[in-house]
C-alpha cells in the first residue's frame, strides 16, 4: 500500500496531520518518562557515568524535538524519518543499557526501554507497508533484547516478553493509522463524487435553460415558417420543416443522430442540401419494398453512410458545376448500396486533389465498417460515387 493522494483540504491530509500531532504527544510523554525515571533512580547510576547519562538524555530530547518539528511542519510522518529515528533509538538503547549496568539491574534506570516503547507509535503511524513496519520493529526489539541481555544483564524471562511489547504497540498503531487514513480516503471520494454530481446537475440545468430558449424562440420560428405562407418555395419550406424536426428532437433530449433510421436520415440530408443550392432526387423505392431491416441499423452505420453521402453531395455542389444530383439507396440482400450521381464536369480520379474529401471522408469512413467506396468519373462525363456495406456477418450487420 502506498501513501494516499494528498490534496489541500482533504480528509486524508487532515488524518495525516492528526497522526503527526499525536506523535508529538507520544514523544512528549516519552521525554516525561525519561525525566521521571532518571530522577527517581538517579542514585543507581555509577558516579563516573552521570555526565554521559545527562548527555544521552539531552541528545534524546534534541532528536525528539527535531523529529516532531519536522513532522508538524510537513503535516505528516514520513517513513524515511521514522527509519532514522529507529536507528537512533536502537543506538540509544545500547548506550542506556551500558550506562545503567550493573547497578540498575531490573530497575527503570535503563530509561531508553520505556521511552522507545512509548515512541514506537511513530513506526505504526508513519510507515504504511506492513513488512516495513515489522522490519523496523524487529530492529528496535532486537536492539533492546541484545543490549538488555548482554550489557544490562537482565534475565531472559524478563527480556523476551519486554521485546514482544514493541510488536503489540506498533501493530495497534499501524491498524489505527490505516483505519484513519482509509476513512479519510472514503470521505474524499464521497466529496469528489458529490462535487461531480453537483457540477453535472449545474450543467443539466444550463442545458435545460438553453433548451427552453431554443424552444421558445428559434424552434417556434422555424415551425411557423414551415407551416405559414411567408415562404413561397415549397422545397425550402420542406427543408425548414426538416431542420425544425431535428431541433425539436434535440431540445426534447433525444439525439437526432442516434434515433433516426437510414431512410429518414437520407431524407433529412436531401432537405439540408436544398440550402446549399443543390436539388437532390432521392430514389429509395427498392429499399422501401424490402423488409424494414434498415430501421434497425446501428447508429454508427447510419452516421457513417450519411456523412460519406453528404461529402459526396458537397463535392457535387462545389466542383461539378451543376445544381442537381441523384441519390439512390438499394440492397441486394447481402449489401447496402448508396450512390450519388451527377452529370457535371467530372474529374480524373487518379489525379484528384485529396482536399475534396474522397479519401478521408468517404473511403476511410466506409473502410472503418468493412465496406468500400467506388468512385467513377471522367472529365466532362460526370461523377458516380457508390458506397457499399456488407449486411450479413459483417461490422455493419
Residue whose grid cell is 510537513: 74
The model's pTM is 0.52
Q: Are residues 51 and 144 in the same domain?
A: yes
Which candidate, 267, 269, 298, places its Cα nearest to that of 284?
Answer: 267
290 and 163 within one domain: no
What's the confidence (pLDDT) of residue 397?
A: 42
Domain annotation covers residue 151: yes
Are residues 55 and 179 located together in one domain of the fold? yes
Q: Note the pLDDT of residue 207.
A: 78
pLDDT of residue 112: 87
Q: Per the domain annotation, does 150 fall within a domain? A: yes
Report cis status (omega within 30 of 0) of the bond before 102. Answer: yes
Taking only the tens place, the pLDDT of each residue in 148-194 is 888 888 888 888 988 899 998 899 999 999 999 888 889 888 888 88
CA distance 42 to 104: 10
Q: Are residues 44 and 178 in the same domain?
A: yes
- Residue 202 within any structural domain of the chain: no
pLDDT tens digits along 333-348: 788 889 999 988 888 7
Predicted confidence at residue 167, as pLDDT, reads 92
Q: Are residues 66 and 177 in the same domain?
A: yes
Domain boundary residue, one of 194, 209, 235: 194
Question: From residue 375, how far is each of 99, 324, 354, 388 by CA, in Å?
Answer: 98, 18, 13, 11
164 lies in some domain: yes
Distance CA 62, CA 66 (A): 6
Last residue of a domain, one of 194, 223, 243: 194
Q: Residues 183, 268: one domain? A: no
Please say whether the dihedral angle defined by the alpha carbons of residues 235, 241, 245 and 250, taken in this order, is positive or negative. Answer: positive
**Residue 277 covered by a domain:** yes
CA 191 – CA 298 distance, rounded (Å): 38
Domain termination residue (choose one: 140, 174, 194)? 194
Same domain, 188 and 90: yes
Rg (CA), the chain: 41
* Predicted pLDDT at 135: 93
Domain identity same for 269 and 356: yes
228: in domain: no
Which residue from 256, 251, 245, 252 is spatially nearest to 222, judged by alpha carbons? Answer: 245
Residue 324, strand partner residues: 279
Task: Give the domain CATH number at 294.
Answer: 3.30.565.10
In a domain? residue 220: no
**Residues of the chain with confidence (pLDDT) below 70:** 1-9, 41-47, 101-109, 234-235, 237-239, 241-242, 245-246, 248-260, 274-276, 287-296, 350-360, 392-397
Strands (DSSP E) found in the chain: 279-283, 324-331, 335-342, 372-377, 383-390
Residues 166 and 306 in one domain: no
Strand order in the sheet with 383-390: 279-283, 324-331, 335-342, 383-390, 372-377
Task: Examine the domain organization and report whether 168 and 296 are in the same domain.
Answer: no
Cα–Cα distance for residue pair 223/242, rounded to 1 Å: 9
Q: Is 201 domain-assigned? A: no
Q: Specify whether 72 is located in the same domain as 159.
A: yes
User: How many Cβ atoms sit within 10 Å of the Cβ of residue 338?
Assistant: 26
Q: Work out how many domains the chain is built from and give that number.
A: 2
- Residue 242 pLDDT: 65
Residue 76's closest CA among 192, 177, 226, 187?
A: 177
* Owning domain of residue 281: 261-390
Instruction: Give yes or no: residues 160 and 17 share one domain.
Output: yes
Distance in angstroms (rounded) separating the CA atoms of residues 213 and 203:
15
Amino acid at each position: 500500500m502506498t501513501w494516499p493522494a494528498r490534496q489541500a483540504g482533504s480528509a486524508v491530509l487532515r488524518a495525516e496531520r492528526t497522526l503527526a500531532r499525536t506523535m508529538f504527544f507520544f514523544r512528549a510523554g516519552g521525554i516525561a518518562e525519561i525525566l521521571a525515571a532518571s530522577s527517581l533512580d538517579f542514585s543507581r547510576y555509577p558516579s563516573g557515568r552521570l555526565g554521559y547519562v545527562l548527555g544521552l538524555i539531552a541528545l534524546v530530547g534534541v532528536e525528539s524535538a527535531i523529529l516532531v518539528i519536522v513532522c508538524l511542519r510537513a503535516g505528516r510522518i514520513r517513513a524515511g524519518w521514522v527509519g532514522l529515528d529507529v536507528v537512533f533509538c536502537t543506538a540509544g538503547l545500547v548506550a542506556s543499557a551500558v550506562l545503567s549496568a550493573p547497578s540498575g539491574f531490573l530497575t527503570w534506570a535503563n530509561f531508553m526501554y520505556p521511552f522507545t516503547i512509548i515512541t514506537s507509535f511513530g513506526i505504526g503511524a508513519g510507515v504504511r507497508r506492513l513488512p516495513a513496519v515489522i522490519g523496523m520493529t524487529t530492529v528496535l526489539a532486537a536492539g533492546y533484547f541484545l543490549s538488555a541481555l548482554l550489557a544490562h544483564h537482565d534475565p531472559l524471562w524478563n527480556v523476551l516478553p519486554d521485546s514482544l511489547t514493541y510488536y503489540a504497540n506498533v501493530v495497534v498503531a499501524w491498524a489505527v493509522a490505516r483505519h484513519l487514513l482509509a476513512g479519510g480516503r472514503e470521505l474524499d471520494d464521497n466529496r469528489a463524487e458529490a462535487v461531480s454530481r453537483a457540477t453535472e446537475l449545474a450543467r443539466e440545468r444550463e442545458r435545460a435553460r438553453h433548451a427552453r430558449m431554443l424552444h421558445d424562440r428559434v424552434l417556434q420560428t422555424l415551425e411557423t415558417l414551415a407551416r405559414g405562407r411567408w415562404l413561397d418555395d415549397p422545397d425550402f419550406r420542406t427543408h425548414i420543416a426538416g431542420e425544425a424536426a431535428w431541433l425539436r428532437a434535440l431540445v426534447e433530449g433525444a439525439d437526432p443522430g442516434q434515433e433516426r433510421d437510414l431512410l429518414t436520415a437520407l431524407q433529412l440530408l436531401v432537405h439540408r442540401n436544398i440550402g446549399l443550392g443543390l436539388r437532390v432526387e432521392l430514389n429509395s423505392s427498392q429499399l422501401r419494398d424490402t423488409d424494414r431491416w434498415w430501421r434497425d441499423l446501428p447508429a454508427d452505420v447510419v452516421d457513417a453512410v450519411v456523412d460519406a453521402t453528404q461529402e459526396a453531395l458537397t463535392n457535387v455542389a462545389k466542383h461539378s458545376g451543376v445544381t442537381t444530383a441523384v441519390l439512390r439507396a438499394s440492397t441486394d440482400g447481402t449489401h447496402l448500396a448508396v450512390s450519388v450521381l451527377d452529370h457535371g464536369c467530372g474529374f480524373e480520379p487518379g489525379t484528384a486533389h485529396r482536399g475534396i474529401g474522397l479519401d478521408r471522408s468517404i473511403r476511410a469512413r466506409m473502410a472503418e465498417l468493412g465496406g468500400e467506396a467506388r468512385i467513377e468519373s471522367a472529365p466532362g462525363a460526370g461523377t458516380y460515387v457508390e458506397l457499399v456495406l456488407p449486411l450479413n456477418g459483417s461490422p455493419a450487420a
